[in-house]
Every structure is written in C-alpha cells, then in structure tokens.
C-alpha cells in the first residue's frame, strides 16, 4: 500500500459516522441499492441495511451491491428483523412517508444515532415499517409529483444529516472502532491478501501505521500454502 493510498483511506475512515445509516426496504434491483450506497459513502456512512423482496432478488443483486470495500451491506428478508437490529444499536428509526404525523425532514435532530428507511419507488414503505418507525418524515414538494426518486430522496435527507453533524463537530474526530478501521485498511489496502484470507479461512493480520501487514512467519507460510498443507504448521 502506497503512503498516498494509506493517507486517503485514513482520511476517509476519520470521517466515518458509525451511528448514521440507511435501510432500503423491498429491494429487487441491485442498481437502486448501488446508487444509495454511493451516496452513503460520500456522506461518511459505514453500514447500509437492505431488506430484499425475495431470496432470489438477494442472490441476484446482493453480492454485487455488497462488493464495495468501504461499506458493509447487511441483508435481511424481514423488515421487522432489520428494524429490530437498528433499534438494538440505539438508533432512532425514521421513515419517509406522507402522513398526518410526518414532520419536515429538516426538523429532525440527526446528531442522534439515526436510521432512515426508504421504500420502493412504486409502492413506498410497508405498513410494518410505518408502524415500527419512531417518526415519519417528508421532503416538501410543490410540483405535480408526490415523490422523488429513492436515491435522490436519500441524498436530500443525508446531506441535511451531514450538515447538522458537521456543525456539531462530529466529523472532526475519528469515531470508527479500531477493529473496523483495521479491517477496512486491510481489505482496501491489501485486497489480494484479503481475498486470500477469506478463501483460506485465515485471520486478518494487523496493519501498522505505515500501512504494512504485521504477521508472524506461520501466517505468511499459510498464505503461500493450500489449506491441506497447514496441518504440520499447527502440530
């Protein structure tokens, strides 16, 4: 890993917001998720959640959508499971929906741990999501259409969250765990070795301040062998 690449990755990781996330509900096309993931990366989000319309849709689109080195995509088959996971992390769960209880999206305090649920463009969010969410939010519109493209709506809300968090100084200090930083440095800075670790079942090594791999001789030997040849090393 070059010093320039190490510096760029560390700068990105220093801005990550582990308590801000998006949950896409009812997904059946991977390109919709990919567009949202791209915006999330730009905002500094480290995790995205996806509730797939079917197992077939997840198999078809999940691996491609989750292939980015910089964001983890967490997949679900049930909306309730996704929301339970988000609330277990202490997130306030918001859902975009035009209802009597909805508030302007700018009235929300996004400096709190926050998850934003976005539904399908055609059908919107499910009744289950609307019921389980803590607050409905709307993006004011004065034209003839009543909704934005889902990735556009995501961008509008997230940039308001970024504005508030930047004003509160939440981008000024690193907030990502060291474990997550180490994993991302290895996967993003040494992708060939990372793929080999995943394929062989090897643990990830530590990455030092210069971006180099810190591992003992046995790890390097296993990296060069197939798994069947490891036995004598562990005896």
Q: Are residues 154 and 194 in the same domain?
A: no
Q: Are residues 121 and 230 in the same domain?
A: no
Cα 42 to chain centroid, rounded: 11
Q: Are residues 40 and 102 in the same domain?
A: yes
Q: Are residues 81 and 161 in the same domain?
A: yes
Q: Are residues 187 and 125 in the same domain?
A: no
Q: Are residues 123 and 186 in the same domain?
A: no
SS (H, E, C) 81-123: HHHHHHHHCCCEEEEECCCCCCEEHHHCCCCCCEEEEECECCC
Q: What is the pLDDT of residues 92-122, one digit of tens each?
A: 999 987 788 889 999 999 999 999 998 766 6
Q: Are residues 163 and 184 in the same domain?
A: no
CA pair distance 150, 139, nearest whole angstrom: 12
137 is in an annotated binding site: no
Joined together, the tokens standing for residue 97 give 């929906």
Q: Are residues 230 and 163 in the same domain?
A: no
96 is in an annotated binding site: yes
**Residue 189 placed within a domain:** yes
Give pLDDT, residue 235: 56
Q: What is the pLDDT of residues 54-64, one digit of tens each?
A: 555 444 445 44
CA angle in degrees (0–180, nearest 5) for 233-234-235 = 95
Domain boundary among 143, 167, 191: 167
**pTM for the full model?**
0.85
**Residue 172 placed within a domain:** no
6 is in an annotated binding site: no
> What pLDDT band is residue 28 in, cutting at 50, 70 and 90?
low
Q: Are residues 115 and 194 in the same domain?
A: no
With a cut of 90, say whether residue 66 has pLDDT above it. no
CA pair distance 187, 46, nearest whole angstrom: 14
Cα 168 to chain centroid, rounded: 22
Domain boundary among 135, 167, 199: 167
Return the closest-CA partner of residue 21 out of 39, 3, 2, 1.
39
CATH of the domain at 150: 3.40.1280.10
**Residue 46 placed within a domain:** yes
Q: Which helix (H) or strand (E) is 22 found in, with range?
A: strand 20-27
Mean pLDDT of 49-54: 80
**Residue 93 placed within a domain:** yes
Q: What is the pLDDT of residues 36-45, one digit of tens each?
A: 888 999 999 9
Domain boundary among 110, 137, 167: 167
Domain that holds residue 43: 17-167
SS3 label, residue 222: helix
Joined together, the tokens standing for residue 208 give 């030092």
Q: Are residues 117 and 55 in the same domain?
A: yes
**Residue 12 placed within a domain:** no
**Residue 6 placed within a domain:** no
Q: Are residues 140 and 187 in the same domain?
A: no
**Residue 5 placed within a domain:** no
SS (H, E, C) 133-176: CCEEEECCCCCCCCCCCHHHHHHHHHHHHHHHHHHCCCCCCCCC
Q: Are residues 156 and 186 in the same domain?
A: no
> How many structural domains does the chain have?
2
**Residue 217 placed within a domain:** yes
């Amino acid at each position: 890993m070059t010093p320039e690449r190490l510096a760029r990755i560390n700068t990105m990781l220093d801005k990550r917001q582990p308590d801000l996330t998006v949950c896409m509900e009812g997904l059946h096309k991977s390109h919709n998720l990919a567009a949202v993931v791209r915006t999330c990366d730009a905002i500094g989000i480290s995790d995205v959640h996806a509730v797939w319309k079917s197992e077939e849709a997840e198999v078809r689109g999940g691996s491609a959508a989750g292939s980015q080195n910089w964001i983890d995509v967490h997949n679900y088959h049930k909306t309730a499971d996704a929301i339970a996971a988000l609330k277990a992390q202490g997130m306030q769960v918001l859902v975009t929906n035009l209802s009597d209880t909805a508030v302007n999206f700018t009235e929300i305090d996004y400096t709190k741990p926050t998850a934003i649920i976005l539904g399908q463009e055609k059908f919107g969010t499910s009744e289950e999501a609307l019921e389980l969410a803590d607050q409905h939010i709307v993006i004011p519109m004065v034209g003839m259409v009543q909704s934005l493209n889902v990735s556009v709506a995501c961008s509008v809300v997230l940039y308001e969250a970024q504005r508030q968090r930047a004003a509160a100084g939440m981008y000024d200090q690193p907030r990502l765990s060291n474990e997550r930083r180490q994993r991302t440095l290895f996967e993003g800075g040494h992708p060939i070795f990372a793929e080999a670790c995943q394929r062989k079942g090897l643990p990830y090594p530590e990455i030092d301040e210069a971006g180099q791999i810190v591992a003992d001789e046995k790890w390097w030997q296993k990296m060069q062998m197939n798994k069947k040849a490891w036995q004598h090393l562990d005896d």
